[in-house]
Every structure is written in C-alpha cells, then in structure tokens.
Amino acid sequence: MTLEEMLDDVRELVGCESPSADLEAVARSADVVARVGTRRLGVEPERIVIDGRTHLRWRLGAGPSRVLVLGHHDTVWPIGSLATHPCTVEDGVLRGPGCFDMLAGLVMAFHALAGLDRSAGVTLLVTGDEELGSPSSRDLIEEEARAAEATLVLEASADGGALKTERKGVSLYDVRVTGRAAHAGLEPEAGVNATIELAHQAIAVAALGRPELGTTVTPTASRAGTTTNTVPAEGSFSVDVRVRTLEEQDRVDAAMRALRPVLPGAVIDVGGGPNRPPLEATMSAALFERASALAVRLGLPAPTSAAVGGASDGNFTAGVGTPTLDGLGAVGGGAHADDEHVLVDELPGRTALLAALVADLLAQPTNSVLTAGAARP
C-alpha cells in the first residue's frame, strides 16, 4: 500500500472528531475507524460498548490469538477543533487534532496487519476511552493481554522516534480533611482549621517522593473553606503519584493509607489508589531487542529507547505479566498541543517494522517472547 493511501486514511480518521467524554462523538469515530479498518483488513470488527463507550476488536486469523496490537481512537480535542486546527500535509508534516496521539498509529496498524497470513493469530483492539484512563476498557484490555504472548502498543513514539520501553505507574489520591467551623474573628480557637491540617498533610505527602528512584508524589488541586471569616470545617487536595516499580507503588500506597491528623479533632480520609501499574523495563527488553534486530534487517535506523513518565494502556498489559513494547506508532510531536504533528517520511519505515515484528513473533514457538531473544539479521 502506498504512503498516499496511508495519508488518506489518517485524514479520514482525523476528520471525525472524537473527544473522550462525548459518547456520541466516540461512537461516530468508531464507525469511521471500523470503516477504514475493514477496508484495509478485509474483516469487520466486533463493536463492544461498555458504559456507553465504543471499542472495536478485530480477530485476525483462525488460530488462537498470540499477539495483541493495541490502540485507541478517542482524543483530547473538543468538537470544533478542526475549524482552528485543520488536517493538513505540508512540507512533509501532517497536522491535525489527534493525528500524533494516536490516529496515525491506528492507520499504521491497519496497513501493517493487512499483509498478514490469514492463519495468523492476532487481535487488534482499539478502545474509546484511553484519554480518560480507560475506565470502561481496562478489564477488556487486561483480558486480551492475559491471552496473548506479547502486546504491541501503537501510541506515538518518544522524542526522535524512540520506542517506549518504560512507563511510570500512576496512583491518584484524594486527601479529605474534616475539621470544625468557628467564627474567624470571635473565637477561632474553637474551631479545627481544615486548611492548616491540609497544609501539614500536603508537606507529609510531598515528602514521600524519592527522586533518586524516579518516584514523584505531588499534591495538586486543593480546596478548603467556605467564607473568609469562617474557620474552614473541611477541605481536600489531590495527589498525583508516578513510580517506576511496583515496589514503590506499594510503598507509597501504604504510606498514604497511614496518614494521621496533626491537629486534635481533625479527621482524615484518603480515597483513591493505584490507577495503572508501571511498565517496567524487564517487560519490554526482549521485544525491544527483537525490534532492533529487525530494523537492521530492514535497513532502517536502529531504534532508540526511552523511559517516560506518562502512562498508557501498555501499563495494564505489562501489569498482568504480558511482555509489552510501547511507542511503536507515529514519529512527530506536540501531543495534546497546538503543534501536534506527524513526520510523514517516517510512516512507511515504522509500519514496515511493525509488520515485521508481528510476523516474527508469530513465527516463534509459543510462549517464547521472553526466552528466545532477538531475531537475527
């Protein structure tokens, strides 16, 4: 298939806006993705609607599914974004809402899988709520990953086209404090000041970070009180946690659960917890080695690797123990930003590498991803 056909497919996907929170928009997008995918793969997908959110699943081949190819079709861009950010291709750069994250990656998947032997066992899963944290699709993703020997994630590349071999795990918390109201001028001593308690707790929470291990624990949005002359009776703040290992995720979780009030009479309640497990380097090492060897065989530049702080659905697949390689999608930049773009000349080579990686995995003995080592040029 030609590069122009790929660009036409990307334009078609970008032309249907798909903000994650708009269920109707996501359903319309699923229709377009299904149409483009069916045109390339020759097989219609199964539509899976969970909590009103539309996901698509292609089963390719008659045999058991051994490789899971994973992507999403929802974006962060609101309806109307095309009016100010039209889809264009100029001077080798494709622009448009969601093109980099990650609609071009879906097109790459369609074109890479189109040439597969139809006896192959591949599942292509395209979800519709990744940008929200995959609330409805997580169980589906994990179920598919448990049945697969490897997961290949078509999220956009890291800087310079690097494959994402590590992703930090994410935990999200809400620390709520209950104090006691009192008049701030007449008898502040009669109150229990929730703002002061929140300050104590925010300092304690921030101290849980371990920069030397890549662990960040960050108090973020906060609120407290009702009026300027009232001792605040309640308040809360959110906490964003990023970790490189499950051990650190567990340590921070235990510490968050162990928070205790400083002020007499204050009450603390901690909600939330781990949201996504980390994609640790051990879960991607063999796949990265295999992809590197295949790139040499194809005459492509050897890929580089990157550890990133952002999470993806690849965190879930690695979390259930399935070898996972992420960042196999488009090369470009500006995800979620005004300058979101894809480098057109990189699309054919990246797609060829994906096709070769899938074919190589299917040619290996069952359950050999972590033990067979790289394919040799």
Residue 370 lies in a domain: no
Contact at 8 Å (CB) between 204 and 177? no
Pair (51, 115) in one structural domain: yes
Residue 375 lies in a domain: no
Q: What pLDDT shows up at residue 63?
A: 75
Q: How confident is residue 290, by pLDDT bands cut at 50, 70 and 90?
A: very high
Q: How confident is residue 24, by pLDDT bands cut at 50, 70 and 90?
A: very high
Q: What pLDDT shows up at residue 373?
A: 36
Pair (27, 141) in one structural domain: yes
Pair (14, 131) in one structural domain: yes
State the average pLDDT for the chain. Answer: 95
Pair (30, 149) in one structural domain: yes
Q: What pLDDT shows up at residue 369?
A: 64
Among 276, 300, 325, residue at a domain's last position: 276
Pair (243, 333) in one structural domain: no
Q: What pLDDT shows up at residue 119?
A: 66
Pair (308, 204) in one structural domain: no
Among 259, 276, 293, residue at a domain's last position: 276
User: Which domain does 201 fall in, by range?
Assistant: 169-276
Q: What pLDDT shows up at residue 372?
A: 37
pTM above 0.95, yes or no: no
% of the chain residues with pLDDT over 90: 93
Q: What is the pLDDT of residues 70-129, one digit of tens each?
A: 999 999 999 999 999 999 999 999 999 999 999 999 999 999 999 887 667 999 999 999
Segment 204-228 mean pLDDT: 97
Segment 155-161 mean pLDDT: 97
Among 247, 276, 305, residue at a domain's last position: 276
Q: What is the pLDDT of residues 131-155, one digit of tens each?
A: 999 999 999 999 999 999 999 999 9
Pair (158, 200) in one structural domain: no
Q: What is the pLDDT of residues 112-131, one digit of tens each?
A: 999 887 667 999 999 999 99
Q: What pLDDT shows up at residue 288?
A: 98
Pair (15, 158) in one structural domain: yes
Is residue 191 pLDDT above 80, yes or no? yes
Q: What pLDDT shows up at residue 61?
A: 84
Is residue 198 pLDDT above 60, yes or no? yes
Segment 3-16 mean pLDDT: 98
Pair (72, 19) in one structural domain: yes
Q: What is the pLDDT of residues 332-366, one digit of tens each?
A: 999 999 999 999 999 999 999 999 999 999 998 88
Pair (232, 287) in one structural domain: no
Residue 192 lies in a domain: yes
Contact at 8 Å (CB) between 125 and 70? yes
Q: What is the pLDDT of residues 169-187, one digit of tens each?
A: 999 999 999 999 999 999 9
Segment 281-306 mean pLDDT: 97
Pair (181, 38) in one structural domain: no
Counting the structural domains of the chain, the total is 2
Q: Supply the CATH number for residue 182's domain.
A: 3.30.70.360
Q: What pLDDT shows up at residue 370?
A: 58
CA dist 81 and 25 (Å) reads: 13
Closest C-alpha to 131, from 56, 52, 77: 77
